[in-house]
Structure 1
Amino acid sequence: MNTAAANRAKLLGASAGISLLATWLFIQFSTPGGFNAVDGLRVILVAVSAFWLSWGALLGVAGLFYRPQGTGRVPLTPPLGRCAVVVPIYNEDPVATFSRIAAMSAGLSRLGLHEQFDFVVLSDTNSMDVAAEEVVWFDRLASQAKAQGHFFYRRRENNAGRKSGNIEDFIRRSGAAYTYAVILDADSLMSPETLVLLARRMDADPRLGLLQTVPKIIGARTFFGRAIQFSASYYSSIFARGITLVQGEQGPFWGHNAIVRMAAFAGNCGLPKLSGKPPFGGLILSHDYVEAALLARAGWKVQVDPEIEGSFEEGPENIIEYAKRDRRWCQGNLQHGRLLGAPGLHWWNRFTFLQGIMAYLGSPVWLAFLVGSIISEAMPRTSYITFSQQLTSSIAAWCLVGLITSLLVMPKLLIIAWGAASGENRKFGGTKAVFFSAITEIVFSSLIAPITLLMQSRSVFQVLFGIDGGWPATSRDERSLTLRQSWEASSWIVMAGALVLATAMALAPYLMVWLLPVIIPMGLSPLLIAYSSMVSDGRDGLLLMTAEEYSVAPAIDARDKVRNDWRTAYLEQGARS
């Protein structure tokens, strides 16, 4: 058994053991007066939920004790082959997108390595106004003195296949001109050193088909955005180390901020059109995991390296925008259920598909458990409950709560302790600042958990009932929401909370102590959504500050300078006209 397989077996075994413990505690807690039909369903739901919760937590813990080897920097010398930096866009802000490209290109020119890199903008924009602006700002981008001839722009009239179809079309037409392709999103940013490092890593390993970075979220201004930004910046690399520990040569692809070997990608990653209609048929929505599985099936290495610095992206700034993006991912992940039996795939890639599916089915599983608990409590028990049984039940209940809480919180607390011991916390303002930021993020995540649970459950039910969510454009500039907007988006959650409250009061009043942490956030969802979308400068209280804010990366600084210069020139031009 190879190292990755052994690590998988250990973590899967530990997850199964914790799941069995949680299930046993639940049985002790929930059935002292007898066992009814609903209890059997609840036991299954607890076992499934505890396993996936344990799996995620153990990846974080394992990441503390593992650091990938051989991931250090390489000499900043010209790559052996040409590299296309591919930027698919769809109704994006052209100034923001093209200024990022300008900053990356200028950085490569500063290193004297721009000759090996071309920047290719693949537009699927269907707004004529935005398309006209793209042409104007691309002309400005392409006029840069040191890198002329290294910028290309193409806008498709027919958006077949969306992002993956646009990239596939580019590879079919122009892929032979390049050895590698760095695939970015419209909001992605990479330091020039990172672009060179990725290409040189591919040079060094001829079997490496895809190398995925772990991008840091930057630019968040709202409380919601800053909470996600802090969590991703502080915790993600450790959890990604856990993924690296078990991935072997069958790692993930997250669709952006990664480099692919062009010949491998072109030869193996053509995506089929699934039979039937969307949401389960038609085009494959979450194409990235499928492409990773196809590369691994063909014998190419697919790896993620959390130690690579200088890779950035932006995130949603409010819960509504997060839910819109999550709806698309939900449909794409559930669609992977049709690929679980695809021929020739490694079993680990199948497990990765299953893991992505459970990331969304987990919410309706918890919702079903909640509803089942109310129904079960209202059903008659078959025997009298003695004091001893009641005591055992209470002890088991609190042990179960402690176990679930530990799985949710303990990995984060261990990462804080590791950061204090390793000195990592100094990058985030010190252990005190990290601790209070982490507590803030944990409390906020707990408050919005019932809201996101219901939103994800609604997405799952929409997909299961055949409703296609499509591919809406990302509103990256949408930040603050009014209370009215929040109410319009979440009034159904308030009503659901009221229904749960009334039902529990009528059928299972003894459960209210357990249900209030769920019902209260549901009732306050418009306030939570609106408040968390307000612009929040963490510098005031040093909360939720990231390393990139304490010490601004040169790539971010360069991007900001170019963007500000461009917008100033645009305003001045408008004033003159």
Structure 2
Amino acid sequence: MGSSRRTLAVLYSLRSVMILASLLAGLGAFILFLEFGEATGLTWIDVFRAVLILISTMWLAWGAMLAFVGMTSRARPPDGVDDAPIRGRTCILMPVYNENPRESFSRIAAMETSLREIGDPAEIHFAILSDTRDEAIAAQERAVFRRMVEECNGVGRFFYRRREKNTGKKAGNIQDFIMTSGAAYDYAVILDADSLMEGETILTMIRRMEAEPQLGLLQTLPKIIRAESHFGRAMQFSASFFSPVFARGLAMVQGRTGPFWGHNAIVNVRAFAQSCGLPELKGAPPFGGHVMSHDYVEAALLARNGWIVRLDDDLEGSFEEGPENIVDHAKRDRRWCQGNLQHLRIIGAPGLKPWSRFVFAQGVMAFIAPLFWMGFIAASIAAPLLVTPPDYFPVPGWPFPQFPQSAASMAISLAIGIFGLLFLPKLLVTARAILSGEARRFGGPVRVVLSTLWELLLSSLTAPVLMMFTIRSVLEVLMRRDGGWPTNNRGDGILQWPEAVAASWWIIVAGCIGLFAAWFLTPELFLWLLPVGVPMILAPALLRWGSLPSRGQLMITPAEQAPGRVIQLYDAVLTRWGVDAQSSIPVVPLRLPEKDGLKA
């Protein structure tokens, strides 16, 4: 009991220090900004911009603090876990929705083979939970499933079920499984259609669940693999090189109230059934209807019922694939934006842990933060039109005055926000990797330094474009436009010039208007705004170039240099299934015994 109290005291202290440090960073930027305005006299627009800087800096500082905390320790396995025989039954769930059956099902076959090669007697089944609406794809699913069952000798272990109605999307799909078949299992590993996990990783997750009876959900940190485009490889490198440090900080600060990202995680089925029934929110989408970002809510509901939700960032062998271009990334972000803003309806739900409410607020802030940055830029440009003439029009007939403090304030904002809170953590992670020898796994110190600089350059160029897509997503939700649940594009992702222009012409217009206004209203800010405006004007070129295959030797990841066994198995199965073969084995329906009447 004493050890548990000390652990909680350390956790609460860490949270308090991080929140206080983020607040102080914001206040520091706020005060520094106002200091430069006092020389010429403060106006309401200066105070307004300072408030925007305060909020934006606090948000950036929180992300930086996760990295700084993550660098203070190394991920390590929890105590008290041994190699005892696994007692419980596990089902690995893969929900699919209009996916390529050959690609998604071959991942299941690879994971099953990886488990079989280990030879552990644990009872593990696999279930394909189809929400596919396209009849042609559904027919392919059944054909590929028959082949998978035949090759893996999977009768009685492999199950396929296609819902007539995809009520509740993925969350409803999982809930349907829990209600009809969940009682047959103790644990469920939840995947996405692009998820891939080593057999040893799956067994380790099960053992950790059995070692901690109160553990309701165990989340891994998936690494992105198989990226081929410039944009995709930048995300892949970032997920493998930078993300583990940020995840370490997240795991330390969230403790027993950890995250759930909807996939590559294992749940205690009974805990999930007792805690995670999701209501349909009143009203129409986007703020009403089914809960879209269900994973955050399910983690909060488990924590509310006293279950532990934990991120074990030491677990390797957990993989996923990412979007290959900015447009596909923005489409996925649009869905997340709607789901996270929906949490404004849930954040005040009774009984939630305070930290769960804080996580909801973080999720909302992740999407509205760009509005504050854009508001600061717009207010800085439009300042001459927003204040009284005596303040800013001292010379008759000269409509475009100089603001001595504006350029300095913009420089301060960029220095603190961009370099201090975005670049510095990544540079420190790079230095840490070189000193610890971790850089060898990414091609050596020289290649790591060049890869980091290249990633920083790419992220700087694409950040204004991504910011505009995010702002549009938020505005669409606020205008009550439902974005739906579009199918993920898992192809090569190459964008043709007409597609790139059609997706970003409005960004070009916004960039031209912004720079034009700055040139005439606040010319001293023009040069400072070029890093934002020029990428916006070049948006089609960035979209097109980012989607093209990368031929360079930078941004190498360990999974590329030494692919894990399950990745090799996946490649082999995918090649073998290049031409679908029919099998005489019939589709096995997902009809499992209902025990104890488990209801989600």
- Please, which of 407, 410, 413 is the counterpart of residue 424 of structure 2? 410
Deviation at 1:338, TM superposition (A): 1.1
Deviation at 1:287, TM superposition (A): 0.2
Distance 2:280 2:467 in 1: 31
Structure 1 CA distance, aligned partners of 2:502 and 2:250?
Answer: 39
Q: How far apart are residue 504 of structure 1 and its match? A: 1.7
CA distance in 2, matches of 1:337, 1:381: 43
Residue 421, structure 1, aligned to residue 430, structure 2: no
Shift of 1:531: 0.6
Alignment of 1:155-234 (within 5 A): 155-234=162-241
Give runs of aligned pairs for residues 403-552 of structure 1, distance below 5 A. Answer: 403-404=416-417, 405-538=419-552, 542-552=553-563
2:68 and 2:212 map into 1 onto residues whose CA distance is: 29
- The amino acid that maps onto 2:514 is V
Which of 538, 555, 566 aligns to 2:577? It is: 566
Map of 2:391 onto structure 1: 382
Residue 410 of structure 2 contacts residue 528 of structure 2 at CA under 8 Å; is this kept in 1? no
Matched residue type, 1:401: L
Q: Which amino acid aligns with 2:550?
A: S
SS of the residue corresponding to residue 567 of structure 1 reads coil
The equivalent of 2:111 in structure 1 is: 104
SS in 1 for 2:151: coil
Pair 431,505 (structure 1): closer, same or farther in 2 beyond 3 Å: same
What is the rounded CA distance, in whole Å, between the counterparts of 2:410 and 2:367 in structure 1? Answer: 26
Question: 2-side partners of 1:122 and 1:66: how far apart?
Answer: 39
1:555 to 561, 566, 575: 566
Could you tell me whether the CA contact under 8 Å between 1:142 and 1:149 is conserved in 2? no
Letter in structure 1 aligned against 2:132: T
- Runs of 5+ consecutive residues of structure 1 not aligned to the other structure: 572-577
- Relative to structure 1, the CA distance from residue 331 to residue 397 in structure 2 (aligned partners, 3 Å threshold; closer, same or farther) is closer
**Contact 1:71-1:307 at 8 Å conserved across structures:** no
Alignment pair present for 1:149 and 2:156:
yes
Q: Any gaps of 5 or more consecutive residues in structure 2?
A: 1-7, 395-401, 583-600
Larger RCO (alpha carbons 8 Å, 6+ apart): 2
Distance 1:324 1:89, change over 3 A: same
- Range 20-29 or range 517-526, more displaced: 20-29
Q: Normalising by structure 1, report the TM-score.
A: 0.94
Question: Per-residue CA shift, 1:41-91, capped at 9, x if unaligned?
Answer: 212111110001000011011100023454389655542100010000001
CA shift in 2, pair 1:393/1:92, >3 Å:
closer
- Secondary structure at the residue paired with 1:105? helix
**Structure 2 vs 1, CA of residues 73 and 455 (structure 1 numbering), >3 Å: closer, same or farther?**
farther
Residues 214, 145 of structure 1: alpha-carbon distance in 2 compared, 3 angstrom cutoff: closer
Distance across 1 between alignment mates of 2:32 and 2:517: 26
C-alpha contact (below 8 Å) 1:188/1:314 kept by paired residues: yes
Match status 1:54 vs 2:61: yes
Pairwise CA RMSD: 2.0
How many pairs are equivalent?
Answer: 565
Distance 1:399 1:306 in 2: 35
Alignment partner, residue 574 of structure 1: none
For 1:400 and 1:99, the matched residues in 2 are separated by: 49
Cα distance in 2, alignment partners of residues 367 and 252 from structure 1: 29
1:502-561 alpha-carbon deviations (Å, 9 max, x no partner): 2222222221011111110011000010011001134xxx21111111111111111101
1:575 matched to which residue of 2? none
Change beyond 3 A, Cα 1:508–1:327: same
Question: Structure 2: how far apart are the matches of 1:121 and 1:301?
Answer: 27
| Distance (whole Å) between structure 2 residues aligned to residue 505 and residue 300 of structure 1 | 57
Structure 1: how far apart are the matches of 2:52 and 2:317? 41
Deviation at 1:131, TM superposition (A): 0.4
Q: Secondary structure at the match of 1:81?
A: coil
Q: Distance in 2 between matches of 1:125 and 1:569?
A: 19
